Structure 1
């Protein structure tokens, strides 16, 4: 069972090429508004086939709510939803069954599940499994919005292209850009770079930043349920995500204490910090400043350039050239996944701390 959360708990099921993918959210108080149109808006933002720089797999990704909702509100039972897979082609994976893709979970899937593994489309290791994460996260985001909590996620850098302008201030600002890098000049450069990469049969990674505004101080639990622990656990459920840092992150390793420490000041009503190197978190608990973290998304492992592999049945050297439809820049669709999944974690932490 694949589950996340404490006070509210998300369980996901299904696979990339199976008939359905779905999820269940348990712990929602009865009477919580469930805005299906709002949830669908976020699902559409991660949907494949919406741009030349995404996989051309054609899926509607329309949410079907099958339990836990009555007249647009939760009824106290587990909120359960489904997505039907329609446009999948199993034959694209015939050659990959015994020839694992470098960088992909094909090999470790074989080590763990052997001949019984679900390998078509990457099975439940596929990025398609982020669908229920977005559905549950969008529901959480709609709840947090009522408390004035805003989450902003955007692509900060990709390859040798980095943002030059100030980051966006609104949760939806980034979706007006072709690559979801909210810098007009860099956005165009990155878009053209991705088109070039597509022609070459390669892929590209990125750094994606998230800021959570207006989280009250005192959210989070020491030790194993710290804000960093819970966010990191959730983020590493996203296929292709290989690194997380909070605030100044690894740059703290080259600082002096006098540089790294966020000095306090007050406006007479609340205590704030002049810098935010700690990412709004001290001792695993929010300090009232924006919660800030960045993640590293690796380049998609499914590329058309020939790569060396090993046939797992003969143990002979082999070569793989991936066919089919794959994202050359998975970060484009990862942005709404990270954004909404962050909302789920923050909501769960606030419920645990009785902050709602």
Structure 2
């Protein structure tokens, strides 16, 4: 089992080609409504086989709650849930036991776990392990709606195409586009680019932008429990995610102080900034502006092109050509993972903050 979180804790278990994947969400009080339709909406957005540019593995990904729930309200005990793996083909992975795939955790799994490693489908290193992350994160996002916090994620850059529209505030908007790049022209171009990549047996990476609106100022702690540290810690649990930047990020390295500083002004009784280069965070604490960050997903490591590797038994060079069903553009299915996991991070930060008692974040007892 693997656990993350402070006041709100998530433990996940299972593996890509085992019978189950599941999670335990601990820290919610009794009486919190669990909206199954809302959870399933987000699970479906992560689900494989949703269109022609995702893996064709067929999974229903229906959540089964096994503890902590009474008539769709939390009972105060840990919330346990499982998913059944329904469509896995272990024979596709016989060849990787002794021939690690470049870009995958096969080789580090061998170093750490040796002969008894769980290598089928990547084992517990698989992107399928993001399923309980989305489940827990969607519960958190639904709770955050009680204090008007909304989270938006979309593909900002991929395949040489870069979106310029930064005024997206609807959490569902990007999912009306096939590639989740919310620009009609670029969506078509990226979709066609992905089709070309599929024919070539290769894959693409991409950048996901996330914006969280209406987070109260003063949330987070300096140093080790900063907002950036909390979010980054969770984001790097997503397989294939290799980098994160907040606000202007690495562009700050080419700015002067007068360009980078976000100057203050009053909007009524609220203090706001003219720009948001800091991404809504100063000193590890929210400043009331939208929380903004971007993550980069590497190209899917499983490609059909032949690649050089080594044979772990013979200690000789070898070649590998990955077979089976894989996403050519895993960034597409990572969008709801990043979005939901951001919700988990924000709710945990608010619950861990001593001033969170100012808000009734759970809105218990009325079914909302």
Once the two structures are TM-superposed, the CA of residue 166 in structure 1 deviates from its matched residue by 4.2
Once the two structures are TM-superposed, the CA of residue 165 in structure 1 deviates from its matched residue by: 3.5
**Contact 2:42–2:134, Cα closer than 8 Å, also in 1:** yes
Following superposition, the deviation at residue 133 of structure 1 comes to 0.1
Deviation of residue 61 (structure 1)? 0.3
Cα distance between partner residues in 1 of 2:168 and 2:175: 10
The whole-number CA distance in structure 2 between the counterparts of 1:330 and 1:259 is: 35
What is the correspondence of 1:16-55 to structure 2 with a 5 Å cutoff? 16-55=16-55
Unaligned runs of 5+ in 2: 360-368
Secondary structure of the residue aligned to 2:312 is coil
* Alignment deviations for residues 278-325 of structure 1 (CA, whole Å, 9 cap, x no partner): 000000000000000000000000000000001111110010100000
Distance in 2 (alpha carbons) for counterparts of 1:212 and 1:164: 18
Helix, strand or coil for the counterpart of 1:94? helix
1:345 is aligned to: 345
1:167 Cα deviation (Å)?
Answer: 4.1
Pair 1:331 & 2:331 matched: yes
CA shift for structure 1 position 60: 0.3
How is 1:115-194 mapped onto 2 (pairs within 5 angstroms)?
115-194=115-194
Shift of 1:186: 0.2
Residues 152, 339 of structure 2: 8 Å contact kept: yes
> For structure 1, which segment, 267-276 or 111-120, has the greater mean C-alpha deviation from structure 2 after superposition?
267-276
State yes or no: 1:266 paired with 2:266: yes
TM-score when scaled to structure 1?
0.99
Q: Which residue matches 2:363? A: none
The 5 Å alignment of 1:220-239 reads: 220-239=220-239
Contact 1:212 1:291 in 2 (8 A): yes
**Alignment partner, residue 316 of structure 2:** 316
Indicate if the aligned counterparts of 1:204 and 1:328 stay in contact, CA closer than 8 A. Answer: yes
Contact conserved, 2:159 with 2:193, CA < 8 A, in 1? Answer: no
Aligned match of 1:204: 204
Deviations along 1:27-67, one digit per CA (max 9) or x if unpaired, are: 10111111112111100000000110100000000000111
Instruction: Work out the CA distance in 1 between the residues paired with 2:102 and 2:114.
Output: 18
Contact 1:164–1:186 under 8 Å retained in 2: no
- Give the distance between the partners of 1:319 and 1:167, measured in 2 at CA: 47
Aligned counterparts, 1:107-122, within 5 A: 107-122=107-122
Cross-structure match for 2:75: 75
Corresponding residue for 1:216?
Answer: 216
Structure 1, unmatched stretches of 5+, are: none
SS of equivalent residue, structure 1 residue 202: coil
Q: What do residues 313-354 of structure 1 show as CA deviations (whole Å, max 9, x unaligned)? A: 111001010000000000110000000000000000001114
Secondary structure class of the residue paired with 1:328: coil
Contact 1:63/1:83 (CA < 8 Å) preserved in 2?
Answer: yes
Q: Counterpart in 2 of 1:290? A: 290
SS at match of 2:147: coil
Q: CA deviation at 1:68?
A: 0.4
Alignment RMSD (CA, Å): 0.7
- Give the aligned length: 356
Distance 1:166 1:24 in 2: 35
Contact 1:167–1:182, Cα closer than 8 Å, also in 2: no
